């Protein structure tokens, strides 16, 4: 038998040996055609009967139903031979991983919907007030001038995710990706309204009766409702919950942009729930592609123990391997792959095949873990390594990013200050005085109103005067735009004199400084 594939990026070369159609690397015959398993091979097993599997091209072409088709490494199960998307009806696999994932998914949805509700420091835990250019994150308020911090924060979080992927493989995809979490919920609704996988598949091929229309209609209403709730939850991050509630009580015409955003997002989510589904993971998700270069043979993946499982075969054939070829692992796979062919790009790490195979092994009184979480090295019995250079590199980059972001956050001021020169002439000379005009913007980032005092410091020449509202009372998260006029007698001005505009709070603490450049005629 030929070697099992060692990495999803490993070339799929034709093999030359006789391997019962399960090889996927070099040296054996080519698997350009799907592997066909006779029903006898599965019906003879004492494992539970197959609930349903991906719709096969053979069935599409009307070939005898008794010839069961398995996915091949050279095709994508969610595409038919004609290139059209095939909707899969994965069977439900109950088990410890399904229950744990359901719990994690419910918690994540609850957190997603709750964050705009939870007040921290007088603002929602996350409130991205784009209109006012203020971003509230867990009690901290950022303004657009603070966005440089996002580079370090995103870098730190990104490299942290790299480290997690290198260690735990596609754990993000299987357990925490919003799409996976939402689709699990959609499948629950689908099972409840339309029944198990064989029933749903039958329903697909039935003519449109009243009963089918009602079931399908209810399903789409439920999906659309879920999509609308999630889209409104998303909008709440940008307008806050009171803002969302106000908008919902007003006509859409009063908030066109928000209405269109929610409507568009609802349609996109509904389209994904109803039709596109795991296609996103297989053909669109950039992180899914990136993960292939982040993992190695020591990363945790979901894999099939071929040494233990092969040669596979029905129980009545007295197979020496533990795999009874019941194909339950294929039938429950949401991306329609056969994990026994080795790790594949389509695997999202949902562990449904682990639950399915463990339940078969339990019924057969054999040890669980024929399909399990393990590294590729572990699956072939080689020593496993936790620490690898890439882990150290990703962790070091994560620490660098998060440390820089933390340092930046610790130095954040309680006000955002910007000083710009007023449009028009850069300076004015009148009655022996030089005049420069500026526009000062002060944004109070505190959750309370505060008083700000503006002054000039440095080598202030005699007779220099600062005019404008030099004391500003600004409400919480409010903003003041103040014209500042600096006047100095011409005979006292010396070009290049260093000056600084300062903003202090009522206690005299320095909030911000801005260099004040005074422009004057060249002849001075």
Binding site for ligand SF4 (CB under 6 A): 47, 302, 304, 309, 323-329, 332-335, 337, 339-340, 347-353, 356-357, 360, 370-371
Q: How far is the CB of 205 from ligand SF4 (least distance, A)?
A: 24
Q: Is 144 helix (H, G, I), strand (E, B) or coil?
A: helix
Contacts 24+ apart (CB under 8 A), 245-248: none
User: Of 76 and 484, which has the nearer Cβ to ligand SF4?
Assistant: 76
Indicate the length of the chain as a whole number: 524
Taking the least distance from each CB to ligand SF4, the nearer of 303 and 416 is: 303
> How does strand 433-444 pair with strand 479-489?
antiparallel
Nearest 10 degrees: CA dihedral of 236, 187, 158, 285?
-110
Given the DSSP bridges, would you call strands 300-304 and 371-375 parallel, antiparallel or unpaired? antiparallel
Our CB check for ligand SF4 shows the closer of 223 and 360 to be: 360
Q: Is the Cβ of residue 223 or residue 339 nearer to ligand SF4 in the bound state?
A: 339
**Calpha distance 245→358 (Å, rounded):** 47
We find the least distance from the C-beta atom of residue 233 to ligand SF4, in angstroms, to be 27
* Nearest-approach distance from CB 133 to ligand SF4, in angstroms: 42
DSSP string covering 404-429: HHHHHHHT--SEEEEEEEPSS-S-EE
Minimum distance from CB of 192 to ligand SF4 (Å)?
21
The nearer residue to ligand SF4, 248 or 307, going by C-beta atoms, is: 307
Least Å from the CB of residue 13 to ligand SF4 = 22
Of 350 and 499, CB closest to ligand SF4: 350
Q: What is the DSSP letter of 147?
A: G
Q: Which residue has the tokens 């890439």?
A: 390
Least separation in angstroms between CB 327 and ligand SF4: 5
Strand order in the sheet with 140-143: 126-129, 134-137, 140-143
Q: Give the residue with the Cβ less far from ligand SF4, 311 or 489.
A: 311
Shortest gap between Cβ of 51 and ligand SF4 (angstroms)?
12
In our burial notation (b when 16+ CB lie closer than 10 A, e otherwise), range 417-450 reads bebeeeeeeeeeeeeebbbbbbebbbbbbbbeeb
Give the span between the Cα atoms of 397 and 30, in whole angstroms. Answer: 42
């Amino acid at each position: 038998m030929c070697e099992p594939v060692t990495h999803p990026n490993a070339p799929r070369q034709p093999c030359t040996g006789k391997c019962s159609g399960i090889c996927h690397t070099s040296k054996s015959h080519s698997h350009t055609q799907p592997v066909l398993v006779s029903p006898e091979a599965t019906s003879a097993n004492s494992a539970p009967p197959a609930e349903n599997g991906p719709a096969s091209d053979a069935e599409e072409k009307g070939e005898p139903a008794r010839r069961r088709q398995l996915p091949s490494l050279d095709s994508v199960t969610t595409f038919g031979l004609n290139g059209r998307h095939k909707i899969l009806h994965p069977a439900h696999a109950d088990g410890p991983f399904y229950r744990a994932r359901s719990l994690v998914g419910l918690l994540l949805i609850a957190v997603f919907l709750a964050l705009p509700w939870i007040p921290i420091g007088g603002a929602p835990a996350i409130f991205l007030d784009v209109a006012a250019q203020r971003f509230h994150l867990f009690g901290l308020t950022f303004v657009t001038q603070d966005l440089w911090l996002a580079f370090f924060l995103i870098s730190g979080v990104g490299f942290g995710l790299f480290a997690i992927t290198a260690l735990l493989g596609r754990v993000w995809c299987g357990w925490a990706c919003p799409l996976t979490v939402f689709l699990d919920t959609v499948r629950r609704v689908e099972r409840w309204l339309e029944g198990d996988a064989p029933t749903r598949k039958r329903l697909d091929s039935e003519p449109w009766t009243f009963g089918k229309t009602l079931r399908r209609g209810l399903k789409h209403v439920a999906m659309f409702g879920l999509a609308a709730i999630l889209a409104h939850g998303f909008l709440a991050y940008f307008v806050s919950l009171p803002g969302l509630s106000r908008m919902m009580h007003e006509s859409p015409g009063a908030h066109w942009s928000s209405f269109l955003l929610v409507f568009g997002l609802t349609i996109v989510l509904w389209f994904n729930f109803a039709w596109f589904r795991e296609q996103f993971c297989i053909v669109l998700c950039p992180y899914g592609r990136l993960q292939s270069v982040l993992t190695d043979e020591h990363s945790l993946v979901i894999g099939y123990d071929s040494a233990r499982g092969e040669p596979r075969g029905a129980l009545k054939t007295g197979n020496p391997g533990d795999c009874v070829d019941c194909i339950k692992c294929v039938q429950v796979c949401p991306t329609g792959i056969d994990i026994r062919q080795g790790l594949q790009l389509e695997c999202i790490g949902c562990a449904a095949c682990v639950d399915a195979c463990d339940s078969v092994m339990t019924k057969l009184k054999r040890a669980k873990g024929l399909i399990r979480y393990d590294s590729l090295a572990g699956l072939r019995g080689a020593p496993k390594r936790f620490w690898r250079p890439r882990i150290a590199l990703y962790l070091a980059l994560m620490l660098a990013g998060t440390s820089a972001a933390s340092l930046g956050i610790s130095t954040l001021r309680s006000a955002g200050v910007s000083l710009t020169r007023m449009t028009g002439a850069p300076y004015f000379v009148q009655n022996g005085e030089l005049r420069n005009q500026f526009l000062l913007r002060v944004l109070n980032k505190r959750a309370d109103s505060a008083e700000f005092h503006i002054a000039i410091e440095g080598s202030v020449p005699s007779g220099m005067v600062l005019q404008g509202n030099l004391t500003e009372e600004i409400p919480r998260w409010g903003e003041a735009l103040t014209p500042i006029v600096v006047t100095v007698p011409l005979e006292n001005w010396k070009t290049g004199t260093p000056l600084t505009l300062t903003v202090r709070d009522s206690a005299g603490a320095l909030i911000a400084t801005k260099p004040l450049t005074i422009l004057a005629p060249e002849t001075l």
